[in-house]
């Protein structure tokens, strides 16, 4: 499947700072999702976006579905140490194989107290 372009690859920030990461694709997706993965665990869904232009919040997390349906960003406000992990964007389009996800390469986030 097609991979998404996710940036930055890694971030090293201090507690309390805001974080922003984004994903772009050359193709249109019907759904964008953001997941967080901690070492040795499966990804956990953070936010799901279904409509172009949609802006959705989940606590300190905010994500937007780009108007062109080819991009999305995730913001984390007032970061805390437990935000550490790898964040993946995932795009979904309808296909013969169903609703399979295409993943970005991930953004590794480190937060220092």
Q: What is the DSSP letter of 82?
A: G
Given the complex with other proteins, which of 58 and 78 has the nearer CB atom? 58
82 binds other proteins (CB under 8 A): no
> Which stretch in 51-59, 62-70, 76-84, 89-97 sits in contact with other proteins by CB under 8 A?
89-97
List the alpha helices (DSSP H) in 1-70: none
101 binds other proteins (CB under 8 A): yes
Name the residue among 13, 22, 44, 37 with its Cα closest to residue 89: 22
> At 46, is the secondary structure helix, strand, or coil?
strand
Rounded to the nearest angstrom, the gap between the alpha carbon of residue 53 and the centroid of all alpha carbons in its chain is: 15
Q: Under the criterion CB under 8 A, does residue 104 sit at the interface with other proteins?
A: yes
58 lies in the binding site for other proteins (CB under 8 A): no
Q: Is 102 in the site for other proteins (CB under 8 A)?
A: yes
């Amino acid at each position: 499947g097609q991979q998404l372009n996710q940036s930055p690859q890694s971030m090293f920030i201090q507690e309390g700072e805001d974080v922003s990461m984004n994903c772009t694709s050359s193709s249109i997706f019907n759904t964008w999702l953001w997941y967080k993965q901690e070492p040795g665990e499966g990804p956990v869904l953070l936010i799901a976006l279904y409509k172009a232009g949609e802006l959705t919040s989940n606590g300190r997390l905010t994500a937007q579905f780009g108007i062109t349906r080819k991009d999305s960003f995730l913001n984390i406000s007032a970061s805390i140490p437990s935000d550490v992990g790898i964040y993946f964007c995932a795009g979904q389009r309808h296909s013969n194989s169903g609703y399979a996800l295409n993943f970005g390469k991930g953004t590794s986030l480190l937060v220092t107290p």
